[in-house]
Amino acid sequence: MLNTFKAAFERAVIGDSAPSLAKWGKLIPLPLIRRLQEDSFRETVRYAARHQKFFADKLRERNLDPSKIRKPDDLKDVFTTAEDLLSHPPEDFLCRPPQVVFETTGTSGPPKRLYFTYHELDHAASYEAAALWENGIRPDDRVVCAFDAGYWVSSWVTFLAAKHLGVFCSAVGKPLPRELYSRMGIYHYNVIVADPTWLVSLTEIAEKEGVLPVKLILAAGDRMTDVYRRYVQKVWKAPVILGYGSTEAGGGLGIECRAGKGYHLDEFNFYPEIIDRDAEGYGELVVTTLSRRTEPLIRYRVRDVTRFLEGSCPCGTPLRRIDAIKGRRDEMVVMGAGNMHPAIFERVIQGVEGISERWQVAVLQEGLRDILEFRLELTNGIDPHSVQASIARNLEACYPDVWANHVCGMYRLAFKFLPSGTLPPERKPRRLVDERN
Ligand SMILES: [Zn+2]
């Protein structure tokens, strides 16, 4: 029985048709998903052991025989981390010559670089197409994708997904919201794909100047709070579906269904684990890529904290779901300014005169906008305005991208000056805190 299903499923994958892939995503029996995953996991491990220097070295160091690895647990403490990607040359991960490269976005430190072939991107796109089909996108729709393009992967994969669906699509990078708004009536877009903070800016324009008919909005790329989501849905009178992905995943890792209860993971192309779980099941997401052969990632530590959702989803898809991302494993805060890390503020505050060693930056929410609040203790009776000006100047000079998002209105800067000795004098203070609900 399973073999019959497997053969039919593989024909659908080869046939590369979004509707049939979407159908299989719903019909496929759970035991078959697990078997496909476990088979692919073993194959990927054997392949990487032969072709990937980084992974082969790890196995050798720990005396692990790749032919005996059946499940992720068998690999014990073998993982691939972001630091590994940054500290080794690309050749240590590449198993064959690449055709495409993408970078992670990162305001602190250098970007990670991930390599693919055209076929791998197209393969990822066919699964995204199936997810879009399942969420109701049809060939007579018109999609506009405003994900940042350039070295970021999402825009390209979404464009290729549109190609698979045969749906009209403009993948235009991340224009000013107003530029896109002025074209909505010309091109009759009825599906908007964008990152959450950009989407809020577009929605504010539409609320004032008129809403055009839209049937679906897909958001991904940074944190979308419930407040933002309700607002965007109310103004456009259209559902907002959230996607979850990364450059390391080569695009999408999971997407919500119309039930909106967690992200269904793409279990055909990834083997997910959640490690170091707490009592509520929350832990760090770890994924192994199952389809990529240019730069497969074995047990890649995503650093996002989430948990598996138990029970079946009302939509009927057996693909496992993860809960909304609770936060980053490290201290990173994702907000309208970008991915904020304490190191950013250490650099920005360094050398600013008239403030004490004790300081903290908080991310707050004011209505629909994020606020970046600098909490500082003044010394030497300096004029607070000159402190504000120095900090703004440093931010602009050191992090032009963060500043550009400020100019775009993606967040507001605020300053709170406290009497000396007010902020906690911990030895390792939390420099960056997220206080949004
Ligand atoms: Zn569902």
Residues 6+ apart with CB under 8 A from 87: none
Report residue 336's pLDDT band, with 50, 70 and 90 as the boundaries: confident
Residue 248 DSSP class: T
CA distance 270 to 273: 10
Span 57-80, pLDDT tens digits:
999 999 999 999 999 999 999 999
Kindly report the average pLDDT of the chain as a whole number: 90
- The pLDDT of residue 425: 67
Ligand 1 centroid–CA 301 distance in Å is 25
Ligand 1 centroid–CA 36 distance in Å is 20
Report residue 114's pLDDT band, with 50, 70 and 90 as the boundaries: very high
Assigned fold of 1-330: Rossmann fold (3.40.50)
- The pLDDT of residue 145: 97
Residues 6+ apart with CB under 8 A from 431: 331, 342, 345, 346, 359, 360, 361
Share of the chain above pLDDT 90, in %: 64
What sign does the dihedral 299-302-303-307 (CA atoms) show? negative
Backbone angles phi, psi at 365, to 5 degrees: -125, 130
Ligand 1 centroid–CA 260 distance in Å is 7
* Strand positions, DSSP E, 195-269: 216-219, 240-246, 251-255, 263-265
Residue 180 has pLDDT above 60, yes or no: yes
Report angle CA 414, 418, 420 to the nearest 5 degrees: 145
User: Position of tokens 């008129």?
Assistant: 210
* Strand positions, DSSP E, 50-209: 100-103, 113-116, 142-145, 168-171, 191-194
Report residue 324's pLDDT band, with 50, 70 and 90 as the boundaries: confident
Residues 6+ apart with CB under 8 A from 346: 431
Residues 6+ apart with CB under 8 A from 25: 130, 131, 134, 268, 317, 319
Ligand 1 centroid–CA 374 distance in Å is 40
Ligand 1 centroid–CA 313 distance in Å is 5
Assigned fold of 334-434: GMP Synthetase; Chain A, domain 3 (3.30.300)
Q: Give the environment of ion ligand 1: residues with CB less than 5 A.
A: 257, 259, 313, 315, 317
Ligand 1 centroid–CA 415 distance in Å is 43
- The pLDDT of residue 340: 80
CA distance 129 to 316: 19
Q: What is the DSSP string of 142-187?
A: EEEE-S--TT-SHHHHHHHHHHHHT-EEEE--S--HHHHHHHHHHH
- The pLDDT of residue 328: 67
Ligand 1 centroid–CA 30 distance in Å is 14
Residues 6+ apart with CB under 8 A from 256: 241, 242, 243, 262, 263, 264
Report residue 109's pLDDT band, with 50, 70 and 90 as the boundaries: low
Ligand 1 centroid–CA 318 distance in Å is 8
Residue 213 DSSP class: P
Backbone angles phi, psi at 81, to 5 degrees: -120, 170
CA distance 141 to 156: 19
Residues 6+ apart with CB under 8 A from 156: 102, 121, 149, 171
Residue 292 has pLDDT above 80, yes or no: yes
Residue spans of the domains in the chain: they are 1-330, 334-434
CA distance 331 to 155: 27
* Token code pair at residue 385: 């305005």
Span 222-271, pLDDT tens digits:
567 778 899 999 999 999 999 999 899 999 999 999 898 899 999 999 99
User: Position of tokens 């990162």?
Assistant: 106
Ligand 1 centroid–CA 262 distance in Å is 8
Ligand 1 centroid–CA 246 distance in Å is 21
Backbone angles phi, psi at 129, to 5 degrees: -60, -40
Span 162-178, pLDDT tens digits:
999 999 999 999 999 99
User: Position of tokens 């989803």?
Assistant: 313
Share of the chain above pLDDT 70, in %: 94
Span 3-44, pLDDT tens digits:
777 777 777 666 668 888 888 788 888 888 999 999 999 999
In the beta sheet, which residues pair with residue 245?
252
- The pLDDT of residue 252: 93
Least confident of 52-66, 191-205, 277-291: 277-291
